[in-house]
Amino acid sequence: MAQLYFRYGAMNASKSIQLLTVAHNYEQSGKKVMVFTPAIDDRFGVGKVASRVGISREALPISDDTDIFELVEQEADKPDCVLIDEGQFLSPHHVQQLTAIVDRLDIPVIVYGLLKNFKNELFEGSSHLLCEADKIEEIKTVCVYCNKKATHIVKFKDGKPVYSGETIEIGGEETYSSVCRQHYYHPPLDAVQS
């Protein structure tokens, strides 16, 4: 029986490389996967899943009007698994489409993404995934300032931590860092990014 998985973690927790590894493993076994990523994440190009270790692959871009269920259902050679990167950017209707893929097409769906934004609030997509997922799994990484588990994301503007502003600003290590709760609320005095 298929299930909806939500695998979340802070930035640099290896979410994208894990997605790429799962896709590779399915394909090495002669199985088919469909990989999707929100079009809003264009850091490496629209419709591309890329890991910081340099591995990438093409993916189907998800826009607000994309019907993921319909794309999967109309596929002549049905996939054995559907993989979604950057799940935090999904809209509620996309999450419902993923549940329909699992429940009506009996195809497992694995979604990777961030849980919270730099304001320490749940992303809308993540909130809906938490409510609908059959299995929720944390992918762990460590704080950039200590060895505690990273649970928060701090955003930098002009080299200084900020806690307000545009919620969605696509960026990588030059803009965001994964930190523990203590260092989110009390960053080191030298917590400056260049």
Q: What is the pLDDT of residues 43-60, one digit of tens each?
A: 767 777 777 777 779 999
Query: For residue range 102-125, what is the model confidence (pLDDT) as tens digits?
Result: 999 999 999 999 999 999 999 999
- CA contacts within 13 A on the Cβ side of 28: 6
**Structure confidence at residue 50 (pLDDT):** 75
**Structure confidence at residue 171 (pLDDT):** 54
pLDDT band at 74 (very low <50, low <70, confident <90, very high): very high
Identify the H or E element spanning 131: helix 124-132
**pLDDT score of 21 more than 70:** yes
pLDDT band at 10 (very low <50, low <70, confident <90, very high): very high
Query: For residue range 79-103, what is the model confidence (pLDDT) as tens digits?
Result: 999 999 999 999 999 999 999 999 9
**Structure confidence at residue 65 (pLDDT):** 96
Can you read off the two tokens belonging to residue 167? 């919620």
Can you read off the two tokens belonging to residue 113? 């993404």
Q: Alpha-carbon distance 117 to 107, whole Å?
A: 29
User: Among residues of the chain, what percentage have pLDDT more than 90?
Assistant: 69
Q: Alpha-carbon distance 137 to 110, whole Å?
A: 10
**Structure confidence at residue 194 (pLDDT):** 41
pLDDT band at 172 (very low <50, low <70, confident <90, very high): low
Domains and CATH numbers, the chain: 4-138 (3.40.50.300)
Which position has the higher pLDDT, 73 or 161? 73
Query: For residue range 137-166, what is the model confidence (pLDDT) as tens digits?
Result: 999 999 999 999 999 999 877 778 887 777
| Residue 86 annotated among the catalytic residues of the structure | yes
- CA contacts within 13 A on the Cβ side of 82: 32
Can you read off the two tokens belonging to residue 128? 């809906």
**Structure confidence at residue 173 (pLDDT):** 59
Which of 75, 86, 166, 174 is labelled catalytic?
A: 86
**For the chain, what is the mean pLDDT?**
89
